[in-house]
Amino acid sequence: MKHKELTFIDFFAGVGGFRLGFEQAGFKCIGFCEKDKFAVNSYRAMFDTEGEWFRDDITKIKSEEIPYADIWCGGTPCQDVSIAGQRKGLSGDRSGLFFKFIELLKSKDEKDKPTFIVLENVKGLLSSHRGFDFTEYLHQVSQAGYDAIWQVLNSKDFGVPQNRERVFIIGYLRNRGRRKILPIEGENQSAIKQIIGGCQGDRLLDPKGISCTLTGNGGGWGGKTGLYFIDQSNTKTKITENSRCITSRYTAGIVNRTASNSAVLESPVIKVRNGTKKGYAKACLGDGISLAYPNSKTRRGRVGKGVAQTLDTSCMQGTLTKDCRIRRLTPKECFRLQGFPDELFEKAKELNSDAQLYKQAGNAVTVNVAYEIANSIKNSKSKETPK
């Protein structure tokens, strides 16, 4: 028996993270809404949008203009509830657009409402105004006729090495039956490509494409890729397995905040040798790049848990020489960290400056996470008989 093809409309569409994930799961997009003209240009270049419903300003839409779709999805603006912002809350100009989205739902006749709504926002929504904003968020979803479930999902658990926590809220129309969609479990399964074999500390893996060469299950410092993430921070800088959350302000560069804005630390080959001084162990990256740290009780100095987690900008841990370099992530790498394939990025690149590409990547929904949610919806079954 052939199942009905589920359709969706992509609100607050950005460059189509939700769209790509849902299409990969077999859903069909029939329209989108996005105000940023640069993001719209990228979206149209990356996807076949000919003949689709489109609006560029949600505040000017009338509900009767919107065609029927099984799902409305969207990454609702997060600036006013983000911890990194001024935290004006849902009453802020940007995050307040959520109320317009709800208004459009409420204005629809019951038969014309989507069966599901899928919304994404920053984790800070949960704590904004001591949690009252999230309570209001759920209340508004309920008032529109939907029962809501939610879960915080981290992109690093779904095949991309980016530490990106987002809360996903899924509403199902109350009179069409409840579905089991969440929770969703994820585990980083990205594969790595070996170039030079050997024991840990000698082997080298492909440094092309961060999204497939840096993984949480890649082993210790000496056994990974020769390509590492490092914080662009003046305080407590660390080398990390996963990129810090990519933001639309990635180009801010070195900042005073901790755990912010990943750069890339590149080393051609990584080797580990015994320490030469009592109480020290030394890890050598390539030829002459050494990081020493005190009070190690092992000959190898616990390279996976020592060097990789304790490099700091005070240089107390050692020195980086010309054989190693620290550079900013490229726009392509940022798109990869969000799950976009290179061929789609190249289409967006033809139309945008690097500054716009960084912004678009930072604002996007991670494709891999959207795909898992779409799959869960597709495979869910109603627990009640629709009225």
Q: How many domains does the chain have?
A: 2
Same domain, 142 and 199: no
Q: Confirm whether 386 is domain-assigned.
A: no
Q: Confirm whether 1 is domain-assigned.
A: no
Same domain, 348 and 329: no
- Reported pTM: 0.75
Rounded (5°) CA angle 334-166-87: 100
Same domain, 266 and 158: no
- CATH code at position 147: 3.40.50.150
Asked which of 297, 318, 333 is the last residue of a domain, the reply is: 333
pLDDT at 257: 82
β-strand partners of 213: none
Residue type, 20: L
For residue 245, with 0-12 CB atoms within 10 Å meaning exposed, 13-18 middle and 19 or more buried, which class applies?
Answer: buried
* 61-93 tens-digit pLDDT: 999 999 999 999 998 875 544 445 554 555 655
Same domain, 161 and 267: no
Same domain, 41 and 179: yes
Mode of pairing for the β-strands spanning 227-231 and 239-240: antiparallel
The answer to which of 8-17, 179-188, 302-311 has the lowest mean pLDDT is 302-311
pLDDT at 131: 82
* 230-246 tens-digit pLDDT: 888 888 788 888 889 98
User: In what helix (H) or strand (E) does residue 153 lie, and over which residues does it extend?
Assistant: strand 146-154
- Domain coverage including residue 31: 7-186+340-379
pLDDT at 383: 57
Same domain, 106 and 243: no
Q: Confirm whether 2 is domain-assigned.
A: no
Same domain, 40 and 110: yes
Q: Confirm whether 104 is domain-assigned.
A: yes
CB 311 within 8 Å of CB 294: no
CA distance 97 to 91: 9
Q: Confirm whether 358 is domain-assigned.
A: yes
Kindly report the number of other CB atoms within 10 A of residue 288's CB atom: 11
Query: For helices 354-363 and 342-349, what crossing angle results, to 10°?
Result: 130
CB 148 within 8 Å of CB 169: yes
Same domain, 28 and 111: yes
3-state secondary structure of 22: helix
Residue 33 predicted with pLDDT over 90:
yes
Q: Confirm whether 370 is domain-assigned.
A: yes
Same domain, 303 and 171: no
Q: Confirm whether 385 is domain-assigned.
A: no
What is the average pLDDT value for the chain, to the nearest integer? 75
CA distance 209 to 144: 43
CB 213 within 8 Å of CB 193: yes
pLDDT band at 120 (very low <50, low <70, confident <90, very high): very high
Same domain, 143 and 231: no
Same domain, 204 and 315: yes
For residue 368, with 0-12 CB atoms within 10 Å meaning exposed, 13-18 middle and 19 or more buried, which class applies?
Answer: buried
Q: Could you give the residue numbers annotated as active site?
A: 78
Q: Confirm whether 119 is domain-assigned.
A: yes
pLDDT at 151: 94
Same domain, 257 and 233: yes
CB 272 within 8 Å of CB 202: no
> For the chain, how many residues are written?
387
- Among residues of the chain, what percentage have pLDDT more than 70? 67
CA distance 357 to 353: 6
